[in-house]
Amino acid sequence: MIDPVTLAVINGRLEQIADEMDATLFRSAFNPIIAEAHDASHGLYDAGTGATLIQGKSGLPVFVGAMSFAVKLVIDKAAMDGDLGPGDTYIFNDPYEGGTHLSDFKLVRPFYRNGAIFCFLASVGHWHDVGGNVPGNYNPVATESFQEGMLIPPVKLIEGGTFRQDIVDILQANSRLPGSLYGDLNGQINALDLGEQRLQDLLNEYGDEQVKAALTELQNRAAQLMRSNILELPDGTFVCDDWLDNDGIVDEPLKIALDLTIRNDRMTLDFSRTSLACAGPVNISRSTAVASIYVALKHVFTDVPANAGVLEPIDIVIPKNTLLSVGAPKPVGGYTETILRIIDVVFGAIAQAAPERSNGCAYGTINALSLAGHRRNGKRWVMFSFFGGGHGGHPEGDGLNHGNAPISTATIPPAEILEAAYPMFFRSWALRADSGGPGRHRGGLGALYEIELLEEDADVFLFGERGRFAPQGIAGGNAGALNRFQYEQPDGLHEPPMKSKMVGIKINRGQHLRLETPGGGGYGAARERDPAAVAEDVRLGYVTTGAAKTDYSVVVDNDGQLDTKATEALRVSGGT
């Protein structure tokens, strides 16, 4: 039995290893999606099962859940080939077994001690461009994965310590930005090298057996804490449905449906009522779905250590014919939109059982926007980025304004970085008034972005969501604002026919794009919000005087001064 102090110290050291790996890649990556937005992750994984042992705190949590499947894929591949050895490193981006989508390249390396594998180290990062029909790879009209980019199965990038340049040559030949790819790849390799060094130091200091005992105890404690948390919830079945706008091909909504059943210290999440697999790229693999469930549960049960023990008391039902469990070559490029909806329905179902543990839905789309063209010197440029929105109101306060999606701890690339890297100019980068869902605790605000093109012309691609189904509030809270995208043409501003997805947009120098992102859902009834807080929202520009009156039954003048008597009269009358 390992003592608590030693356990805490080893746990901290292990987490620090993963954190340093994150930092190494963030500081050395070439593309802003990794370097600025931190769209990457690192961790340690079980030698036999691939289960998550330790994750970094700065990378994307959804990667940590998905990477256990990716590591298991390497374990099975190595067992079949019978040639795994020290100095090997695998590279691949298989989204069906390893999770997520083709832009996310995984590197997996066995870590040997005394001739045996102690664990696996893994790195995953979102590369800027990996081929396919659309620069940046978020192709909203893809009907098969071949239109989304190159698919690389697990292959040895480093074999017995020897770097295979031929593999890199193939990768670079399939990218519009081979230099960016090469820089990101070497950053990931360096992160693995550092992880090996730090882990060797830890094992030399504490011994292999003591560190193994700590890893086992941490996983057992996570499972025990999850069971204890579930026991505190009422038994029963709690239902929550939400919708995707469409799949980019057929303009019909797609349902994400959850029946969450709690029995004693176990929880079953059944997605059987979810829509069938679709033609467009909002399908996801089962491994990706499980990873998003892991992230949602960690949001709800924050005291549970982040490792495979989180899912030990959880049963997950996902039929193979739904859009949450597809195989090749179904398109999966827009996986981010679908897993955000999974998180939303988990929040919604938990809110029915224990609203004090949940929160309103976040804005629910990364709004993957890509602009691409050629500079005057003929050099290709590709701008790909994602954009923020409001988080849901929660039991302790208002939702976060202009945050990133709850699948990650990533940041939104700053305007200055994007403007320095690409021929574009932000006319506006501001909070969007009245976008947060009204509630006792208001949903966080979305954002308003206006992007002007500075180069001669560009092609524009958008992959978003929440254009038709707003982020829902809970416990009586109201929904946040819908997503809205517009693009300028000679005859004025236009909107995509499918609201949130479109290819084939062409703009010229001086024309602009306008993106208004959703706010988060509210928590609790809007009339329960303190009128003084509503007045402060008006003063800050978060809520207009009209919305204060109609949504909150609070009368505030244009200077943000609360009219107490008029407010009381309005609330007594029940009118607006």
CA-to-CA distance for 319 and 357, rounded, in angstroms? Answer: 28
Q: Which residue has the tokens 């790195």?
A: 123
CB-based contact 268:179 (threshold 8 Å):
no
Residues 451-481, buried b or exposed e (16+ Cβ, 10 A)?
bbbebeebbbbbbbbbbbbbbbbbbebbbbb
Q: Which residue has the tokens 């990706």?
A: 288
Find, among 447, 426, 485, 451, the residue nearest to 371 by Cα. 451
Report the amino acid identity of residue 540: L
CA distances from residue 209 to 18, 49, 109, 214, 285 in whole angstroms, order as listed: 20, 18, 21, 9, 36
At residue 235, the 3 state secondary structure works out as: coil
The predicted structure's pLDDT at residue 556: 95
The predicted structure's pLDDT at residue 1: 75
Opening angle at CA 85, ends 80 and 90, nearest 5: 70
CA-to-CA distance for 523 and 140, rounded, in angstroms? Answer: 32
At residue 339, the 3 state secondary structure works out as: helix
CA-to-CA distance for 273 and 513, rounded, in angstroms? Answer: 37
The predicted structure's pLDDT at residue 576: 55
Query: Which pTM does this prediction carry?
Result: 0.95
Find, among 516, 567, 347, 537, the residue nearest to 442 by Cα. 537
At residue 477, the 3 state secondary structure works out as: coil
Token output for 129: 């461009």
The predicted structure's pLDDT at residue 406: 87
pLDDT tens sequence across 230-281? 999 999 999 999 999 999 999 999 999 999 999 999 999 999 999 999 999 9
138 phi and psi angles, rounded to 5 deg: -85, 85
The predicted structure's pLDDT at residue 575: 62
The predicted structure's pLDDT at residue 65: 79
Q: DSSP secondary structure string, 391-434?
A: PPPBTTBPPPSSB--TT----PPPHHHHHHHSSEEEEEEEE-TT
Give me the helix-helix angle, 208-231 and 4-28, nearest 10°: 100
394 Cβ contact list (under 8 Å, min separation 6): 358, 359, 360, 441, 523
The predicted structure's pLDDT at residue 58: 84
At residue 292, the 3 state secondary structure works out as: helix
Cis status of the peptide bond prior to 95, with omega within 30 of 0: no
The predicted structure's pLDDT at residue 59: 77
CB-based contact 269:314 (threshold 8 Å):
yes
Mean pLDDT by 10 residues, the chain (576 residues): 92 96 96 91 96 87 86 96 96 94 97 97 96 93 96 97 97 97 98 98 97 96 96 98 98 98 98 98 97 94 91 97 96 97 98 96 96 94 95 97 85 90 97 98 98 97 98 98 98 97 97 98 97 96 97 92 93 74
CA-to-CA distance for 283 and 549, rounded, in angstroms? Answer: 41
The predicted structure's pLDDT at residue 354: 97
CA-to-CA distance for 213 and 264, rounded, in angstroms? Answer: 29
